[in-house]
Structure 1
Amino acid sequence: MRVTDVSAQQPPDAMKAVVHHVYGSPDALDIREIDKPVPADDEVLIRVHAAALNAADAFLLRGEPFAVRAMAGGLRRPRTNHVLGRAVAGQIEAVGRNVAGLEVGEHVYAECAGTLAEYVRAPERFVATKPAALSFEQAATIPVAATAALQGLRDRGQVRPGQRVLINGASGGVGTFAVQIAAWLGARVTGVCSTRNVDLVRSIGADDVIDYTGQDFTTAGQRYDVILDLVGNHSLAALRRALAPTGTLVLSSGGGGRWLGPARRLASALVVAPFVRQRLRPFAATQDKDDLILLKELAESGAITPVIDRTYPLGHAVEAMQRLGEGHVAGKLVITMNDAQ
């Protein structure tokens, strides 16, 4: 990672940001001074206090699967000064003239593009007031990850009280929220994780925990009403063996090569779905302010508590991205701007 001059002498209309100009490894990242964004009429400008990393950041950095390159603005290389990051917590610095529900100085969190920077602009419709009970670092973990867990279980899985729900990938960024949200929905929750994370997954609300290094849940004989697969390490046939006859399988991941990535596996589920009683439902989360408001309430009531694996200052973003790419992160990785302001 190349680091340009990031002294305190930067002009007032500039900011520090983590950018990349080629697809590849974290070594392609560069901390650079770029233009400070200006909010449009329906946007707010957020002074970033913390930004959480998500799987999408690793995909965008690598440019794989190739389908994600449209989000970075170029097939051969990202657009100039493409900034990574999609989840943020911070303070409103300015508001567009059509913004009515948010004010300068308000503490907020949001899902928007380009959050690994000192400032980011975000549409008002995707910005919500930060949970008062959480720090900025904790709050930044909720957009994207907790939203995905909520939508996957409540909307696609249609989880009801008393159902048996299995979370495959229970110790990850989405998984740690999914365990807690499934419990909040009234389910009996089974989490699948590695040996070192068994106690963690149990501590956040799982009724049962399966250590995948010693047991394969698809061959154990237990059947579940809903399976949320966040890993993609089992075939559809294997997952269906662990699913109740009229159960629901929610899929959000899987291999598929450099071109299509998880899309190929998700498409396979759509092909099979009409011919089986079980419900096979591919899933991709969407931005939703109402969900951020609900998650704020859940955080303030104690129903969900973010799990943070590690925090990094902005200047160590390359280390954070390397760790994200290695996998096996327990909870979330968070970038703080303490060294940038």
Structure 2
Amino acid sequence: MRALRFHAHGDPSVLQVDEVAGPRPPRGDELLVEVAASSINGTDLGLRRGDLPAVATWGRLPFTPGFDLAGVVVDTGPGVTAFGRGDRVMALLGHGGGAQAERVVVRQSRAALCPRTVETTTAAAIPLAGLTALQALQGCGHLQQRPRGARVLVLGASGGIGSYAVQLAKDLGAHVTGVARAAKHAHLRDLGADEVVDRRQTDVSTLGDRYDVVLDAAGVQGFAGVGHLLVPDGRLVSVRPLSLDAVRGALARRLPAGVDARHRGVTAVMTTARSQDLTRLAALVDAGRLRVPVDATYPLEAAREAHEHAEREVRGKVVLTLG
């Protein structure tokens, strides 16, 4: 089968399409999926560049990127109960990647049926970014437990995770402020953002409002610069792992006198491949309450161009097709 791989770290020129052995037959509760498409995430870019040293523990080079996929089930293990051959599914793989190949084996607990109302290739843009946004807002930010009108600030709002977060927060009745370059403000308003902030013109630490949830969807904002923007029971959520002791120490230096940083919820979302959460996202798409924000689609052979596009100022997601 064909698979996208890089044999060394570097710029997009290191990517190549190789002929490789196909996966083994599915066992237990596994699905064998013929992949229609896979999206490009920030992790793919970082692994290709060599920015993430954990790649050494995820598998030796050459490495096949790709963490989310959509396609058709062509075989099932004997323990599969939720899917059958011919089902259109989307799934989130583990840390070993490998989704940007023509066939992939994945456990059924990591998969869900694709939304009925979108093409299979479009559904490939849902799993990683959609799950991260959903779990950050609800599992970490507890937005679903807050009253309607709760205020949410999304940093990096125009990217894949941010584009989902704006919509999901609006669906929960929040007032959403999105932070992105001015050229992307129309995109954010189209997704439902109530307010937009130009990150190049405005220092977010100077914003006058207070927020129930601040989501750093880009994973680049220093927490010391935004902790004071939270209401007393607010939550500060990052998409990147962080040292809570270090963050709380930084926050304590910025909080008003007498306010204990321990009362400020600071956390990082650890995206989990939950079938029920993927099914929830699919239902929102089918109900017309969530749009899949695909910015561009490229064939597998144009993966280098796709990575170059993804490293520029995108609006949402970039997808690679394998059909």
Q: Scaled by the length of structure 1, what TM-score is found?
A: 0.85
Cα deviation 1:177-208 (Å, max 9, x = unaligned): 00000011111111111111101101111111
Give the letter aligned to residue 170 of structure 2.
A
Inter-CA distance 309–270: structure 2 relative to 1 (3 Å threshold):
same
Aligned residue identity for 1:302: G
Name the CA distance, whole Å, in 2 between partners of 1:301 and 1:317.
32
Q: Which moved more, 1:264-273 or 1:172-181?
A: 264-273
In the alignment, the residues of structure 2 paired with residue 247 and residue 50 of structure 1 have an alpha-carbon distance, to the nearest angstrom, of: 38
Name the CA shift for 1:172/1:281 in 2 (closer, same or farther; >3 Å): same
Q: What is the one-letter code of the residue matched to 1:16?
A: R
Q: Could you tell me how far 1:212 is from its partner in structure 2? A: 1.6
* Deviation of the 1:265 alpha carbon: 5.9
Stretch deviating more after TM superposition (242-251 or 83-92)? 242-251
Q: Tell me the CA shift for residue 136 of structure 1.
A: 1.4
Decide which of 92, 98, 103 is 1:114's aligned counterpart.
Answer: 98
Q: How far apart in 2 are the matches of 1:211 and 1:265?
A: 28
Contact 1:251 1:266 in 2 (8 A): no
- The SS at the match of 1:218 is helix
Q: What CA distance in whole angstroms lies between the structure 2 residues aligned with 1:238 and 1:218? A: 5
Instruction: Choose the corresponding residue for 1:280, options 266, 271, 281.
Output: 266
Match of residue 190, structure 1, among 150, 170, 177:
177
Question: For residues 267 and 322 of structure 1, do their structure 2 counterparts lie closer, same or farther at Cα, with a shift above 3 Å needed?
Answer: farther
The answer to whether the 8 Å contact 1:171/1:193 transfers is yes
Instruction: Provide the C-alpha distance between the structure 2 equivalents of 1:92 and 1:42, rounded to a whole number of angstroms.
Output: 13
85-94 or 233-242: bigger deviation: 233-242
1:170 & 1:298 partners in 2: Cα distance? Answer: 19
1:86 is aligned to 2:67: yes
The aligned amino acid for 1:268 is A
What is the TM-score with the length of structure 2 in the denominator? Answer: 0.90
How far apart are residue 84 of structure 1 and its match?
A: 0.8
1:304 and 2:290 correspond = yes
What is the CA distance between 1:119 and its match in structure 2? 1.1
TM-aligned CA deviation for residue 128 of structure 1? 0.9
CA shift, 1:232, in A, is 3.9
Q: Please point out which of 92, 103, 109 is paired with 1:125.
A: 109
The answer as to whether partners of 1:217 and 1:242 remain within 8 angstroms in 2 is: no
Task: Report the counterpart of residue 28 of structure 1 in structure 2.
Answer: 14
Unaligned runs of 5+ in 2: 253-259
Distance 1:308 1:216 in 2: 29
CA distance in 1, matches of 2:66, 2:31: 17
Query: Aligned equivalents of 2:55 and 2:165: distance in 1?
Result: 25
Moved more, 60-69 or 128-137: 60-69
Structure 1 position 329 matched with structure 2 position 314: yes
- Distance (Å, rounded) in 2 between the aligned partners of 1:218 and 1:231: 16
Residue 82 of structure 1 deviates from its aligned partner by 2.5
Q: Deviations over 1:212-263 (max 9, x none)?
A: 222222202111111001234432221113222332111124xxxxxxxxx4
Query: Cα deviation per residue 1:14-68 (whole Å; 9 max; x = unaligned)?
Result: x011012222222222211111112223211111111111111112212322124
Higher mean alpha-carbon deviation, 35-44 vs 117-126, is at 35-44
User: In the aligned structure 2, how far is the partner of 1:240 from the partner of 1:230?
Assistant: 15
2:48 paired residue number: 61
- The answer to whether the 8 Å contact 2:228/2:251 transfers is no
Q: Is residue 83 of structure 2 the alignment partner of residue 102 of structure 1? A: yes
Aligned partner of 2:13: which letter? D
The alpha-carbon deviation at position 327 of structure 1 amounts to 3.9
**Counterparts of 2:45 and 2:246 in 1: how far apart (Å)?**
24
The sequence identity of aligned pairs, in percent, is: 36
Measure how far apart 1:266 and its partner are.
Answer: 5.9
- Counterpart of 1:11 in structure 2 is none
User: 2-side partners of 1:232 and 1:296: how far apart?
Assistant: 26
Alpha-carbon spacing, 1:203–1:96, altered in 2? closer, same or farther (3 Å): same
CA pair 329-26 structure 1, distance change in 2 beyond 3 A: same
Indicate the residue corresponding to 2:214 in structure 1: 227
Q: Distance in 1 between matches of 2:182 and 2:128?
A: 26
Quick check: 1:141 aligned with 2:162? no
* Corresponding residue for residue 203 of structure 1: 190
**Displacement after TM superposition at 1:70 (Å):** 1.5
Task: Pick one of 14, 18, 23 that aligns with 1:37.
Answer: 23
Which segment drifts farther, 221-230 or 268-277?
A: 268-277
The alignment yields a C-alpha RMSD, in angstroms, of: 1.8
How many residue pairs get matched? 308
Deviation at 1:138? 1.8
Given that 1:273 and 1:279 are in contact with CA atoms closer than 8 Å, whether structure 2 keeps it comes out as no
